[in-house]
Structure formats: structure tokens, C-alpha cells
Chain A
């Protein structure tokens, strides 16, 4: 619930990833920059068809394309994927962090407890 991604960005990111080809492109770009031609290679698709997919990914902020003469290589923007992952993992994150705080707090609470209680706990542990 606390992801740093806006609702609008979330809509476009999820829509962009709701397609097998575009997910495969993202996975390929995770290994490094690639040109449209290189990206088109593993698919039975024309370069203009791949370019359309790239535009969707670009608008969603998942990839960027830089000018390099005629090549315009694509690269992944890890930030957007990171935001998405944080958002998907919201529940786990909420509880992981809560439990870490609980660990610290319990330690504080038990340090303040009466010595007799601590002694009892120690002897209990030793007897095991």
C-alpha cells in the first residue's frame, strides 16, 4: 500500500507487462543494452512490430532509448521494476519490517524487566 509508484504509472507499467513479448523483451534487456534488430531476432516479428512494443515499454518508463547514430539502443530502467517489486511485496515488507521493530522493542522491554524474571528465564534455559 505504500509503494512509491503512482496509480497512473502503475496502470501503464502493469499494462505494458501484461504481454508475453514485452516481458521477454524486458528479460532480454536485463542482460544488457540491445538494438531493435537484436531484440527482434528471437521473435517471429518484424522490426516495426517490435518497435511498437518498445514504445509501450518506453511510455511506461520501463525502458529508455538513446540516440547512437541510427541504432537507438534500448536499455532497461531498473527503477520502475524496483518500484513495482516493492509494491507487489507490500505485505511481506510491512510484516518483515514490523517484526524487526518488534525484535528491538522486545529486547528493550526485557532488559527493563525485574532481575528475578531474567534469572528465572536463564535457569530455565540452562535446565534444557
Chain B
């Protein structure tokens, strides 16, 4: 059985984030879920958020932009430019969280299919370690990832 567990790997020496997750669908469909607004609106982002707009121009040099709205009315916008499009196996695009427009990252999506299931691998390359840690911690200042990992254990022990 393939694992439904999400792996998140942050390299200690390179400003990258790698994630891996298996989904139960052929990769053509998974690729479309990543690149068609009518699909993206249905799953991308936590449940508490509503995707209020999603535009995609799926061409090399074209771009995407989507906006999430939180229950408190706060909006979060993301955009990027497509660099490489190889349906259904590979997609390379830039990624910018518009609150931090200078922290542009390069994301590579790789889809490999086995027995009708697709392993989704994302590789995100940031310009600096600080930007990477900021992305992982969603706004937290860089270099604090390790320092607070023990907190997770503590919180787990409290539950």
C-alpha cells in the first residue's frame, strides 16, 4: 500500500523544501488538478480558506494567480510564471506569496505513476535559507526551525 503521509524535507544546507505525497489517481488527472482553475478552486488550500479567484495561462512565459480568503476576511494572494510544462510528468514555475514579493521561489512538480497511483513530488528552491525558513514557518524569521522543533514534542505530550 502506498502511504498517504505527507513528507516535508527541509535541507539543512540548501534553501530547498521537498514534499512527497501519493494520491490515488492517474497522473494526467493530477496534473490537471494542479493547472486548471476549475480543479484548483476545489482543493488547493486548507478547508477554512475560500479560493476567491484563480487565473491560469498555461503556457511557458504565461502565469497563474490565485487568492485565498480567510474567515477573518484577510486575503492571501499567490502568483508565478510557468517555465516548463510537460503534461503529465513535470511542471516548473516560479512562486511568489504577494505579501513577500521579493522572496520568489522556483517550484518543480514531478508526477510519477505506479499502478494507477501518482507520487507527487514538489521541489521548491528559494534564493536564501532565510526565505526558505520564512516559507516553512509562514512568516517566522529564519533560522528558528530547529529551535522550536522541541515545542512540537511538548505540545504532543500535553494532549
**A binding-site residues for B, Cβ under 8 Å:** 1-3, 14, 17, 23, 26-27, 30, 76, 78, 81-82, 84-85, 87-99, 101-107, 109-110, 121, 124-125, 128
Contacts and interface: CB of A to CB of B under 8 A. Distances in A.
Q: Which of A2, A85, A96, A124 has the most CB of B within 10 A?
A: A2
Interface residues of B, number: 44
Interface in B28-56: 29-30, 33, 39, 42-49
A62 to B, nearest CB: 11
Contacts of A101: 42-44, 47
17 contacts: A1-B76, A1-B139, A14-B144, A17-B148, A76-B158, A81-B151, A81-B155, A90-B139, A91-B138, A97-B45, A99-B6, A99-B23, A102-B43, A105-B39, A124-B115, A125-B116, A128-B115
Interface of B: 4, 6, 8, 17, 19, 21, 23-26, 29-30, 33, 39, 42-49, 70, 76, 97, 99, 115-116, 135-140, 144-145, 148, 150-152, 154-155, 157-158
A5 B28 CA distance: 39
Interface of A is mostly: helix
A109 B40 CA distance: 13
A91 B148 contact: no
Contacts of B24: 103, 106-107
A14 B151 CA distance: 11
Nearest to B8: A92
Contact of A96 (B6, B76, B158): B6
B43 A92 contact: no
A38 B101 CA distance: 49
B46 A97 contact: yes
B137 A106 contact: no
B75 to A, nearest CB: 11
Contacts of B145: 88
